[in-house]
């Protein structure tokens, strides 16, 4: 029995090493949890700015909104006139987005990431073949020409991810954003 457990542990460690080499951190963390048996229960309560507990879902949502607005909407520290010497090229005709650029952007999409509000994962786009690339080229060129982006591409879901210490305090979280795959490909 002891030999079986040792064999299993060695195999698990070998798999984790391979996962690290292949940049599959998610698999490593899953195996670590399996090995250590550690599960941290999420906090059902968060604190408001005055350290009072919030229990109702709508109150918590308002608190998260205030917190992330405070963290993400920082005051501009750029000095007045710092950009005055730059030329405005926003109205010049730039070359269209090429098929090669779209193919490169699609290849750079990361596997294993959460889908955005569109529920499309990168793997679907990457394995969509020529038809998917053709459709994306057409779509992105339309965005490029009209300089208009759909509202869905402007929206993103911000998910609080616990970093450290007390789970009840918003400051101990960072926000991760899940956006549409198309927005990710265009922004590259």
Per-residue pLDDT of the chain (188 residues; tens, 9 = 90+): 778 888 888 888 888 888 877 777 777 778 777 777 655 555 678 999 999 999 898 999 999 999 988 888 877 777 777 777 777 766 666 678 889 999 999 998 888 877 777 778 888 888 889 999 999 999 888 888 888 888 777 777 778 888 888 888 989 888 887 766 555 555 55
DSSP string for 49-61: TTS-EE-SHHHHH
What dihedral do alpha carbons 51, 55, 57, 62 form, nearest 10°?
-20
Q: Are residues 65 and 100 in the same domain?
A: yes
Give me the count of residues in the chain: 188
User: In the prediction, which pLDDT does 66 show?
Assistant: 92
Rounded to 5 degrees, φ, ψ at 71 are -75, -40
How far separated are the first and last CA of the chain, in Å rounded? Answer: 52
Q: Are residues 66 and 14 in the same domain?
A: no
Q: Are residues 170 and 102 in the same domain?
A: yes
User: In the prediction, which pLDDT does 89 show?
Assistant: 66
Asked whether residue 91 is assigned to any structural domain, the reply reads no
Asked whether residue 155 is assigned to any structural domain, the reply reads yes
User: How far apart (Å, rounded) are the C-alpha atoms in residues 112 and 110?
Assistant: 7
Q: What's the structural domain count of the chain?
A: 2
User: In the prediction, which pLDDT does 11 show?
Assistant: 87
Q: Are residues 24 and 52 in the same domain?
A: no
User: How far apart (Å, rounded) are the C-alpha atoms in residues 101 and 104?
Assistant: 5
Q: Which domain holds residue 17?
A: 2-36
Contact 175, 64 (CB under 8 A): no
User: How far apart (Å, rounded) are the C-alpha atoms in residues 167 and 164?
Assistant: 8
Q: Are residues 32 and 112 in the same domain?
A: no
Q: Are residues 115 and 31 in the same domain?
A: no
pTM as predicted: 0.52
> What token pair was written down for 49?
């700015």
């Amino acid at each position: 029995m002891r030999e079986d457990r040792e064999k299993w542990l060695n195999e698990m460690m070998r798999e984790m090493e391979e996962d690290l080499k292949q940049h599959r951190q998610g698999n490593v963390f899953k195996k670590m949890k399996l090995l250590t048996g550690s599960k941290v229960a999420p906090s059902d309560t968060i604190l408001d700015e005055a350290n009072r507990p919030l229990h109702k879902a709508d109150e918590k949502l308002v608190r998260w909104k205030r917190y992330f607005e405070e963290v993400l909407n920082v005051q501009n520290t750029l000095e007045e006139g710092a950009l005055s010497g730059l030329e405005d090229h926003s109205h010049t005709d730039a070359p269209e987005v090429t098929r090669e650029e779209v193919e490169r952007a699609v290849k750079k999409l990361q596997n294993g990431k959460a889908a955005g509000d569109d529920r499309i994962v990168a793997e679907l786009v990457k394995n969509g073949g020529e038809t998917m690339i053709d459709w994306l080229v057409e779509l992105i060129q339309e965005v490029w020409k009209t300089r208009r982006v759909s509202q869905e591409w402007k929206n993103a879901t911000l998910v609080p991810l616990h970093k450290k210490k007390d789970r009840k305090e918003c400051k101990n979280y960072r926000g991760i954003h899940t956006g549409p795959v198309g927005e990710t490909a265009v922004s590259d």
